[in-house]
Structure 1
């Protein structure tokens, strides 16, 4: 083992020993007794200290430096691991209600998987609460459940807590280029999170018959899969497979609905843009004859039926990552079979509601309120 790595492991161990003495909300709610903090520090530090020299400087990442330089206690224009680990806080929703953070729900050979549970402030012991499950975006290859506390997601989740929902933010394995994991694993992990919640519904004071799905981009596709595919499909952890649940409604922000119809991803200057995501569905050794079945399996539209729970898709008309055609295509099928799908098309909006040429319409605030209202209307 490299000397720097040995020193890093010793320092992380020291931080875990000291964790109970930190007076932050996040630590007091930590269900992992410090184990997850160790993981978070190690993984986040590795992304900063790219040359593995034990310090992080502006040269390594100028954008990240702007956020991290405040940790530079001795003003030497670099942040040491000690400075970083002493000051870094795990991003979570700050709420007035009870929280269960860093709940281990599944162990895989690649990594342990955690979720965070946020309760409405007026929740009482023995309540059976409806649950909104948030699945983060990031192209199935990046992002984390901590995005639940960022920007528009913070607004939506805080409002849902005020409305009496429980909010659960889920981690899942990310796609790896070497074929270790695929999009299928992302979806299965999130379905296992639902099964875990179902298994432990009594202790967690949640109603396994009132689950809701919410996600953006890749998380939007996962949210659609959670909403539309049956609880027993896409089996994962054997210890969780017999626990069922009921989905009530879901909202997808700029999430794809179909990978078979490649024209949904195409643009004039990108004649076969599906190839960007195809490798995240296929394995390196996937045979040509098996590709179509895998594309279909990961396409939420194939699970849509007349009796599906209500789905709201919100898409930007100028999104070049997940084109607006996905919303129109899902709406078209829904109309044919009588399924409950609604769409909102945001004008002048690219991916992540970026403005393209003019102000987006409806506004970001109106998108947030529409999302909140949709869940409340299906309470």
Structure 2
């Protein structure tokens, strides 16, 4: 099969996992692991969509690795897979690669394109997971040990991957038949419910609580379908007592995605006996920015808590 991957392998036929030492070039590889960059996982009407894979340098090539997907933030309108190279995000995934995971960072269509709505973002990231399932032998990844971590809008996408049935979000016909098993996921300050607008209310009068609505319904949507579409994009409605474990991490002074979303998901989980853990960072705003004092706990502890949550399920195949 023809794979658009790192430059040295472009236009070559790849029958098995390449020797990654051949493609470990470029500044993106220095801080996370050796990897394959700019792999095209699907073609959409708007653009080709790419992902990167990072591997441990000392991996055992005879075994498939558990894989963690990173779904970036940016309000469904900005950001790229390269967000993984920023600050605490980079540090988190570098440590997870060192713990024996492969990491896949995904770009998806953005709502700044007038033809794209939030559902397209969900479909794209699910297609990325299906693509890895389809090509698990080529890339040496285990589609039955899938994890996901996302921040902000990527937190909502991570929750959707963990909780929602992927058959409800079909995308590329060539990927539809490929299955995967999600083991656990982490949402950093991601929204859980768009149907309850009060969850977005803050003390900031400049922020419309329904400001993300146009990214859900699109410019040509029948207004009468608004509530249905809001529910479709709300991870909390897919939560069951058999859902994979989910870690909701949130900031107590976040005015972009208020902490109420995390409490809301936890409350629903407790009602039905679902496995949702909650962790709230004090004196923190969006992106774990300081808000009113030193964040508590500090950033390195937030990273540690994230990694510990994933590690406890590393060998779990459910």
- TM score, norm. by length of structure 1: 0.75
Partner of 2:76: 140
Distance 1:103 1:94 in 2: 18
Partner of 1:342: 277
**Cα distance change, pair 91–327 in 1 and its aligned pair in 2 (3 A):** farther
Q: 2:46 aligns with which of 110, 134, 141?
A: 110
Partner of 1:15: none
Give 1:333 shift: 0.3
Query: Could you list the per-position Cα deviations for residues 134-158 of structure 1 after superposition, in whole angstroms to 9, with x for gaps in the alignment?
Result: 0100000001100111111111111
Q: 1:326 aligns with which of 258, 261, 264?
A: 261
Distance 1:192 1:214 in 2: 16
Partner of 1:365: 300
1:149 counterpart = 2:88:
no
Which structure's relative contact order is higher, taking Cα pairs within 8 Å and 6+ residues apart?
Answer: 2
Partner of 2:21: none
Partner of 2:244: 309
Query: Could you list the per-position Cα deviations for residues 20-79 of structure 1 after superposition, in whole angstroms to 9, with x for gaps in the alignment?
Result: xxxxxx755x6589xxxxxxxxxxxxxxxxxxxxxxxxxxxxxxxxxxxxxxxxxxxxxx
**Cα distance change, pair 272–262 in 1 and its aligned pair in 2 (3 A):** farther
1:173 counterpart = 2:109:
yes
1:182 counterpart = 2:117:
yes
Give 1:108 shift: 1.0
Distance 2:210 2:265 in 1: 21
Distance 2:27 2:187 in 1: 23
- TM score, norm. by length of structure 2: 0.89
**Cα distance change, pair 31–370 in 1 and its aligned pair in 2 (3 A):** farther
Question: 362-371 or 118-127, which moves further after superposition?
Answer: 118-127
Partner-residue secondary structure (3-state), 2:168: coil
Give 1:97 shift: 4.8
Question: Structure 2 stretches of 5 or more lacking a match?
Answer: 1-5, 13-24
Distance 1:274 1:181 in 2: 21
Partner of 1:69: none
Partner-residue secondary structure (3-state), 1:301: helix
> CA RMSD, aligned part only?
1.9
Partner of 1:211: 146
Partner-residue secondary structure (3-state), 1:92: helix
Q: Which has the larger radius of gyration?
A: 1
Partner of 2:17: none
Partner of 1:251: 186
Instruction: Report the number of matched residues.
Output: 297
Distance 1:96 1:352 in 2: 20
Q: Which has the higher helix share?
A: 1
Give 1:230 shift: 1.5
Partner of 1:38: none
Runs ≥4 in structure 1, deviation > 3 angstroms? 30-33, 95-98, 268-272
